[in-house]
């Protein structure tokens, strides 16, 4: 229902104080999210002074065209950030841990897309439509690290936060259907190759996942924990509490089951909610329709609800199948289904929106 939000509120206040375009570095520019950074920076007319394109040594020397200019990719090192005001990181957790603090120490404000700093005390974990106040006091070019949440957490909270703000989420049960894009460009290529292999009757190529991905699904490939949850599921639990500013007995109860499905791009999630206050389907739909960055597809008569293809290459998170949970006392339970592009809102777009808050 909404177009990409331009800087306003906190962003507008910061923009009035800044007189020059920030110098920007992109760490991990050759990956799927790094490439999406470039697309979105251009599409959203993000102001850029100088631009550095950074990646691993194996990608150094490659050239990338951006807005009519050809850039040479440089190797990401601790010395890459002199004069940089904004560093967008999507180079993986180990690289973020190694080079993020160096970038911050050099004066760059880091927006990191990995899990490296999400649960670190003092590091804001931000979804701009949910908790923009978390970046208050951070200035571009003055250092600091801001964490981009997990893609599944972002997509979930875009759908649920409008309801939580109005009625209070007491408990949330989510099951995810996660696309290959969440595992990077190599996983997307493997799904495409496996599909060809299966249809041709050839042996299936398996370099990324230990299971056949095409025409199959399996538990999310993040490391399994002793309690039976995998890391992806626990990220959704703990990140939700941090973003909502919840602690102790005031935490919403959250549980998740994450599954990898043979979809190229855009995650889907089935969400069951229990509220502190009664909410009707009509109230819920109205709240969702009014939410920035969210679009409603909820046509019961034609069984038309969000699909990953609806969300692919789109900025909004699409929500539908809004219905009362008949297993709970009337009014306090709700079910819904949502889809969001993992590379855009689940990663690159959210990071750039965070940067827009700082302009």
Place of tokens 């190229």: 264
Catalytic residue flag (residue 267): yes
The catalytically annotated residue of 164, 267, 338, 339 is 267
Catalytic annotation on 258? no
Instruction: Report the alpha-carbon distance of residue 200 to residue 342 in Å, rounded.
Output: 29
List the catalytic residue out of 151, 258, 338, 339: 151
Q: Are 211 and 187 in contact (CB under 8 A)?
A: no
Active-site residue set: 151, 267
């Amino acid at each position: 229902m909404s177009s990409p939000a331009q800087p306003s509120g906190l962003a507008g206040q910061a923009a009035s104080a800044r007189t020059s375009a920030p110098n920007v570095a992109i760490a991990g520019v050759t990956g799927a999210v790094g490439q999406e950074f470039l697309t979105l920076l251009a599409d959203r007319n993000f102001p850029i002074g100088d631009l550095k394109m950074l990646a691993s040594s194996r990608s150094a020397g490659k050239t990338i065209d951006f807005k009519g200019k050809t850039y040479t990719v440089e190797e990401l090192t601790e010395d890459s950030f002199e004069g940089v005001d904004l560093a967008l990181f999507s180079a993986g957790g180990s690289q973020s841990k190694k080079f993020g603090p160096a970038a911050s120490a050099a004066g760059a404000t880091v927006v990191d897309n990995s899990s490296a700093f999400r649960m670190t005390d003092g590091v804001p974990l931000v979804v701009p439509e949910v908790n923009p106040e978390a970046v208050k006091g951070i200035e571009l070019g003055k250092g600091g690290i801001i964490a981009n949440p997990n893609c599944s957490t972002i997509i979930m909270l875009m759908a649920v936060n409008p309801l939580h703000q109005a009625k209070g989420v007491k408990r949330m049960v989510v099951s995810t259907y996660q696309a290959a894009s969440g595992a990077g460009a190599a996983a997307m290529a493997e799904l495409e190759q496996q599909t060809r292999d299966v249809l041709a009757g050839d042996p299936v190529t398996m370099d990324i996942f230990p299971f056949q991905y095409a025409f199959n699904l399996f538990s999310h490939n993040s490391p399994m924990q002793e309690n039976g949850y995998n890391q992806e599921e626990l990220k959704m639990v703990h990140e939700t509490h941090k973003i909502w500013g919840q602690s102790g007995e005031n935490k919403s109860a959250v549980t998740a089951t994450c599954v990898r499905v043979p979809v190229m791009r855009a995650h889907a999630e089935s969400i069951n909610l229990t509220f502190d206050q009664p909410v009707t389907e009509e109230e819920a739909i109205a709240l969702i329709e009014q939410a920035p960055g969210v679009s409603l597809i909820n046509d019961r008569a034609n069984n038309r609800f969000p699909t990953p293809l609806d969300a692919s290459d789109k900025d909004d998170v699409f929500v539908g199948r809004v219905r009362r949970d008949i297993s709970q006392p009337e009014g306090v339970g709700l079910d819904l289904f949502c889809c969001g592009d993992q590379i855009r809102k689940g990663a690159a777009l959210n990071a750039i929106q965070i940067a827009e808050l700082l302009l």
